[in-house]
Amino acid sequence: MAAVVGTTRPDFASDEGVERILVVTAHPDDVDFGTAGSVATWTAAGIDVSYCIVTDGDAGGDDRSMPRTEMARIRRAEQTSAAFQVGVTDVRFLGYPDGRLVSTLALRRDISRVIRQVRPQRVLAQSPERMWSRIYASHPDHLAAGEATVCGVYPDARNPFAHRELLDAEDLEPWAVSQLWLMGREDVDVYVDTTEAIDKKVSALLSHASQMKDPAGMDTMIRGWGAMIAKQGGLADGCFAEAFRAIDTR
């Protein structure tokens, strides 16, 4: 049976007593569609959350006259602003090309680097498996970022002999992530009550102005979506939620 969880789990606390979470997504705004409500809930509880955005979203928008480098600059700024709305200040961009992402060894190494730097107890990622019932959740970049992140969590980041340059040249010790949570799944088994954070989630999404054709419609869609997930998770009427597939990787 799926569980509704609170903000933190004591067994995931670091040596300093602080839980750290890393969210890895393919594009700017992916994190806000998938998990901004949960992130706002966690940061309000004192949990450290970092973002790793694999591409700059340079293939986004409809303005064909805009240089793609300018779109990348805009989308980095929008994502940084969106992160601030939900209490995140550590946003890392890997700069891979939008629309051409594949799960290469180089991408696995770069995500493993961030995992070793942040040293999170939990990593959130996009699903590496296609969702046929909601195809837009399964953009090829999402699948590639998800696959590379799963490989980064296990086995790459914890293996001292994987991507040896991380240890030998950068002095980044291996790190074993305790849990992997996947977005964009039908077989979810954990729900996060985001009722108190729904306004922050909407504000975060509206920060992506270059991608918003109908801001009012976005607000309505996100609230309806969150209410539907809350109902599926057994929460009371008037609640909102986000849902994930949780995998224990200890």
Unique residue bearing structure tokens 């340079």: 58
Average pLDDT, the chain: 93
- The pLDDT score that the predictor gives to residue 247 is 97
Neighbours of 57 (CB within 10 A): 28
Higher pLDDT, 195 or 138: 195
Measure Cα distances from 171 to 116, 158, 163, 168, 239 in Å. 10, 14, 12, 6, 45
Tokens of 244: 């994930």
Residue 86 has pLDDT above 70, yes or no: yes
What is the Cα 54 distance to its own chain's centre? 10
Of all residues in the chain, the percent with pLDDT exceeding 90 is 84
Residue 171 has pLDDT above 60, yes or no: yes
What is the Cα 30 distance to its own chain's centre? 7
Residue 67 has pLDDT above 80, yes or no: yes
**CATH number for the domain including 207?**
3.40.50.10320
User: What is the Cα gyration radius of the chain?
Assistant: 17
Angle at 226 between CA 221 and CA 231, to 5 degrees: 125
Mean pLDDT over residues 118-125, rounded?
A: 98
Cα gap 3→9, rounded to integer Å: 13
Mean pLDDT over residues 156-182, rounded?
A: 98
**Element at 125 (helix H, strand E):** strand 122-126
Residue pair 15/53 in contact (Cβ under 8 Å)? The answer is: no
- The pLDDT score that the predictor gives to residue 60 is 85
Helix, strand or coil for residue 244?
strand
Residue numbers of the domain that contains 176:
3-248
Cα gap 190→246, rounded to integer Å: 7
Mean pLDDT over residues 192-215, rounded?
A: 95
The answer for 204, left when phi > 0, alpha when psi is -120 to 50, beta otherwise, is: alpha
Mean pLDDT over residues 180-206, rounded?
A: 97
- The pLDDT score that the predictor gives to residue 13 is 42
Q: Give me the number of domains the chain comprises.
A: 1
Residue 108 has pLDDT above 70, yes or no: yes
Edge-to-edge order in the sheet of strand 179-183: 3-5, 190-193, 241-248, 179-183, 122-126, 20-25, 48-55, 90-96
